[in-house]
Amino acid sequence: MVGFIKELVDEQGAASIAMGQKASWRRSKFKNLLITPGVVFVTKAAPDISAFPNPVPAGDRLGKTTISWSTASISSGKVCVSVDNRQESLFGVSRQGSAAANWIRAGSTYEFRLCDSDHTRLLAKVVVRTATE
């Protein structure tokens, strides 16, 4: 059990902080870690993509939403968008980030897909629509 706890603490970088050493930055495999006497709670990080606001408020003009994503790893990812199930277009490339989509039209459906850097594996997706009035 002690070895497992040490591995979790090391993963969170606590060892580097405690020893005063400056280590190179890297993303943790865990989203959350809570150690209490006798109980350890671990939440593993997972790839995620979200849109805010979603649904996009309806109006006479084009709507706007912000797409945020994370591959939850050190690897880069690609975010592509498909409008009304048509061919995908590249929206962004990075391990994590956010970008505005200020061209959301009422009545259309936008599917944003986060894929690995080779575009061979779907990591997460979010569907964006406009609100009904």
Domains of the chain (ranges plus CATH)?
2-44 (no CATH), 48-128 (2.60.40)
pLDDT (mean) for 44-63 = 89
For 22-31, the CB contacts below 8 A with 24+ separation are 26/74, 27/72, 27/73, 27/74, 27/95, 31/72
- 14's CB contacts (< 8 A; 6+ apart) are none
Predicted pLDDT of residue 37: 82
**How much is the pTM?**
0.72
Q: Which residue would you say has higher pLDDT here, 45 or 102?
A: 102
pLDDT tens-place string over residues 60-77 = 789 999 999 999 888 899
Unique residue bearing structure tokens 């060892």: 15
Residue whose tokens read 């930055």: 25
3 state DSSP class of 45: coil
74 or 89, higher pLDDT: 89
Q: Give the pLDDT of residue 49.
A: 95
In contact, 47 and 70? CB cutoff 8 Å: yes
The Cα 13–Cα 75 span in angstroms is: 19
Q: 110 or 36, which is more confident?
A: 110
Q: What is the mean pLDDT of the chain?
A: 83
Asked if 77 contacts 94 with a C-beta cutoff of 8 angstroms, the reply is yes
Q: Order of strands, edge to edge, in the sheet holding 96-104?
A: 48-52, 63-70, 96-104
